[in-house]
Each structure stands twice: as C-alpha cells, then as structure tokens.
Structure 1
C-alpha cells in the first residue's frame, strides 16, 4: 500500500489535533484522536502505561495543573506499517504555566477504521540534554 497524500494530511492533522483538544480541555472529544483501546505509554513520566480512553482522560484531569498548558508538535515523519496502519514519529514541546518547557518524542501507531485514522498506541519519550552537552 502506498499512503495517499490525503491520508498523510489526515494523519498529520490528527496528530496536531491532540494539542488543541487537550489544551482546550475538550477531553470528551478524545474519541476523535484515539481508538477506544488506546495504549498510552508515559513510562518516562509519572503515569506509566494507560489503557483506554477513560484511563487517559482520568490521568489528564489528575495532572491538569502540573502538566503543560500548551502542547506543540513538529517534525512529523510517517512510515507505512501494513494495511491501514502507519507509524508516526514527531517532536512535542510542552509549555507549563510557569513558562518552563520540555521536549518529548511521540512514537505512534495509527490505524484506519470506520471512523477514519486514530492513534491506537502512543509512547512518549522524554528528551533530555545529553550529559556531555551540559558541561
């Protein structure tokens, strides 16, 4: 399968929509982003691995004031991984209310279903400055 331009655009917009919905507190719309059985792996952060929309929503609500108030995504790279499945890697920048920021890599598995493209698995990898760069 060759990923069509319209599919690439739909997937890129899907990834971008995450920041808008989460930042706007529209957690009732998570089904527009994720499959019902989403595996959301934040092992590098404080929540570990979450399974399902309800678990993600609960964690987002619990983290509300400590988490970023603004999510930005860039450098999206898509790789076909089989029929109706794509791997996506992108860079994320989160800005907190106090002005501090952090960087992550999103490693996603995105599948096409009856509702269109949805993220079925997301792993967040925290980006930190290498020790040699700190010196």
Structure 2
C-alpha cells in the first residue's frame, strides 16, 4: 500500500520534471526516470522514446529547435497503486509554448520503485483539445 512518503516522492518527481525541463537541466533526467523508461509523445505527433538517453536527446533536440515549451505546470494529480512497487499516476499539464500559446495535456504515468525511489517508468502524453464551437 502506498504511504504518505510514497505519494510525496511521486508528486515531487512530477514537480521536479517541470523544473528540469524548463531550466534545461536535462542531465538530471536520471533522477526522474528509470533507465528503460518510455516517454510516449506519439499522440502529439512526436513519437516515443525509450531509455533516459533517448529521452534526453529528444528533449535537447526540441529545445534546440526553439519549439520547446517555456514553462510547464502540473496539476490534478491522482495516484493509484497497481502492484507493490508500481503506481498509476494521472495528472494534467499546462504548458506555455515558445509563441505564448497555452496548451493542455493529460499525463498518464506508470511509476516504479527503482533503487528505493519512485521514478517514471512510462509516460503517455495526450493533448486536450478545446470543444468545437457551435
């Protein structure tokens, strides 16, 4: 059963991910992800990346292109235990894009205990689209 410390570690990792991304601290990604993590951005048209080094390279490439978000915000965190050592975490992300546009996504994460710390094992990003007007 997840205890308060487990939940704290998970929410801290979600928050830290935003700062690591926004402050270009990509050398810290191994603090957030298990070594064989999958970062799946296929629903936003950017593919899926397996392993911390591939995730780091994709993030660096996005930043170098000038299209990376300038700020990430994580909210509405819901944590459910799967099995001992894994947790399903769903949250919402708001991003201020390089051009000032605001975008929203859902993060579906699987966290795993790795070396005694909760880290992201899989992240699936799904964009939220505004309802069509009528």
Q: What's the TM-score bracket when you normalise by the shorter of the two chains?
A: over 0.9
In structure 2, the residue matched to 1:12 is 11
Indicate the residue corresponding to 2:90 in structure 1: 89
What count of residue pairs does the alignment treat as equivalent?
132
**1:74 alignment partner in structure 2:** 75
In the other structure, the counterpart of 2:122 is 121
- For each residue in 1:8-31, what CA deviation from the matched residue of structure 2 results, as whole angstroms up to 9, or x when unmatched? 111111111100001110000100
Query: CA-atom RMSD, angstroms?
Result: 1.0
TM-fit CA distance, 1:115:
4.6
1:58, distance to aligned residue in structure 2 (A): 1.2
Q: Deviation above 6 Å: which 4+ runs of structure 1?
A: none
- Partners of 1:126 and 1:33 lie apart in 2 by 22
1:72-121 deviations in whole A, cap 9, x for unaligned?
A: 00000000000111000000001013211100000000011215110000
Query: Where does structure 2 lack aligned partners over 5 or more consecutive residues?
Result: none
Q: Deviations over 1:31-79 (max 9, x none)?
A: 0000111111101123211111111111111111102010100000000
The TM-score with structure 1 as length reference comes to: 0.94
Task: Normalising by structure 2, report the TM-score.
Answer: 0.94
1:31 is matched with 30
Distance, in Å, in 1 between the alignment partners of 2:27 and 2:116 is 16
SS, match of residue 90 in structure 2: strand
Bigger mean CA offset, 43-52 vs 30-39: 43-52
